[in-house]
Amino acid sequence: MTVVAPRRTASEVTLRPMGDGDVDAVRALDALVQPTPWSEDFLRGQLADPDGRTLLVAEGADGTPVGHAALVVVADEGHVTSIAVDPALQRHGIGATLLAALCRDARDRGLTAMTLEVRTSNEAAIALYRRFGFAPAGVRPGYYTDPDGTTADALVMWVHDVDDPAFLRAIGEDRS
């Protein structure tokens, strides 16, 4: 007999700031979706700078982390450095929920634009970013290096004018 676990949707997750106690779970999630996950030292270093970074965890009703996201502030711009969702729960709105939260944070910080890099082969992520108004701006050849030594190109995407009504609608903040 096969038992199918219920699938979580974005409405069933809670977003909260990442803390030291989340490092192992975030690394485990990264290992499921990234060829080269962030190191423990790197994550702890990110946590040490809350004024210049936003790190979020999406957790299910049982408290289990099912995704995470990170934003770094560079001058008046935000750089999305990571969005990761448990592969078993992808395409249920959790990534969009995380991205919307980072976008709201960028707007609340008074940032004027946001950028990110994504593997050129990651069509699902590119489609998600486009929904939020991110547009391709170039390619970084060989940006990603995998453990086997192969490289992959990154598509650089930007969204400008984060106070634009279209952007605010995309992140669920339209106040008109």
Which positions are annotated as active-site residues?
117, 129
Three-class SS of residue 65?
Answer: strand
CB distance 78 to 72 below 8 Å:
yes
CA distance linking residue 42 with residue 25, whole number of Å: 14
CA distance linking residue 163 with residue 108, whole number of Å: 10
Strands laid side by side in the 113-119 sheet: 14-17, 53-59, 65-74, 77-85, 113-119, 151-160, 135-145
- Per-residue CA distances from 162 to 45, 85, 110, 134, 169 (Å): 28, 24, 9, 10, 11
